Structure 1
Amino acid sequence: MTNFLLLALLLLSYCCVVLCRDHPNILDTCFDAKYHKLKPVPEPNLHGLCSPWKSRACCESNTTLAFHLNDVWIGFTWNHCPGHNLSESCRNWFMKDLCFYECSPNTGPWITEHKISIRNERFQHTPLCTSQCTSWWEACKDDYTCLDNWGKGFNWTTGVNTCPVGTTCQLFSQMFKNNATAFCNQIWDYSWKVVPDTRPCMKINFTGTNPNDAVAEYYANINATGKNTIKHFLLLAALLMSVYSNN
């Protein structure tokens, strides 16, 4: 019984952190990062490949213009392999991915703490449609990189990411062993989780109305159901603790 109560206390402490995040409406929020707003609002002048997010965005137009025009953004360059700049088609897909990162209002259900110099939060294990991943992979498989996870491992001594000593630049197809899913899942340290198109999933390439609004709402409802279950368990644990302490 004592062990059960200790477990309940631990769960109470953990779940309070999870349930008490300062994102009261996860369908109308932006994660905490350097150029992100607190809440998404219309931005009619988003630049280039970010324009699909103009109806409701976590980014500003000048932010999207800046990273469209520069090969280095917040100290990071996709062109880290000397003599091997990304092809235009691959760069466009990474640009769409960056537009999602900076602009998407739909990351709420997957926000997690991640305290580094450019952000305090990130999104993780966000469902990405297989068809989107496949198109991204096809655009990039013949380009070059030296790491299979761009979220960690680079040398930053120059202020811009460079390949670590001991690594070699090779084709994406070699680095990821011709596995599109591994590429999409790993490239940003599991920000994405590739799922079949038959399941609700995110699109980083779309036109017209943002299809990701409905995806975020679907998973937010699932999360809410899970949190209510946790709350009921905690209430039961608190009741048992009260009864135990009075005996």
Structure 2
Amino acid sequence: MRALHIASTGMMAQEHNVEVTSNNIANMRTTGYKKQRAEFQDLLYQDLRRAGSSTSAQGTQVPVGVQIGSGVRLAATSRVMSQGDLENTQKDLDVAIRGEGYFQISLPDGRTAYTRDGSFEMDSAGRLVTIDGYEVLPGITFPDDTKDITISSDGEVQVTQSNSTTTNTIGQFTLARFINKAGLEPMGDNLFLETEASGAPQVAVPNDEGYGNLLQKYLESANVNSVTEISDLIAAQRAYEMNSRVIQAADDMLSATSQLS
């Protein structure tokens, strides 16, 4: 009976939907996290009577055919790359991006990763690094006697050293943009990798045309709306229950048929 298979694909689809929603909820407090959305497609159809087929020698045609679908499948888990809220942290090395762009991160294997997570630290050599110790590109090193740090909206890094009132510029942030930022590959740890789908990175300084600017002592929170996610979770649960009832109904029909004498 087709209904059993069709309903089973619906249940599997809603399982994936719940998994995506649960991941969004789990990352509600993850800095720079971008929510995912499950997208579905219907499966192939079986034509029992094709629309437009001839019904007589005089050339009359069937205006509407008879098609039976075979269910649904998960087509993609796209990312919603909208801006998250900015939260004040009062920490000098925390930097948020307002608008387009990604920080560039040098991985230990030589690859470059990209992130919206600007919770940076200073390592033992004075380099600006992520919380995992990966260097932030193009590379910013602070003097040993750094007293005050200022990061401007256009990415210029200035410091005041001990026993001095002079401000010195020691580095410059750059941002990377992608033609299709939804095509970036997530690798965990709040990092993304370039793919053929995303296109090559286009690098410029903050505040250039088409690029965002920076805000020191702020971090970008996840763009996850708790109310929306809970309502999506309830809708997925109800859809799963309805598909399970279809399976129960199909089973009852088969049972009734088998008992016919």
> Do the two structures share a fold, i.e. TM-score over 0.5?
no
More strand by share: 2
Give the structure-1-normalised TM-score: 0.35
Give the structure-2-normalised TM-score: 0.34
Larger Rg: 2
More helix by share: 1
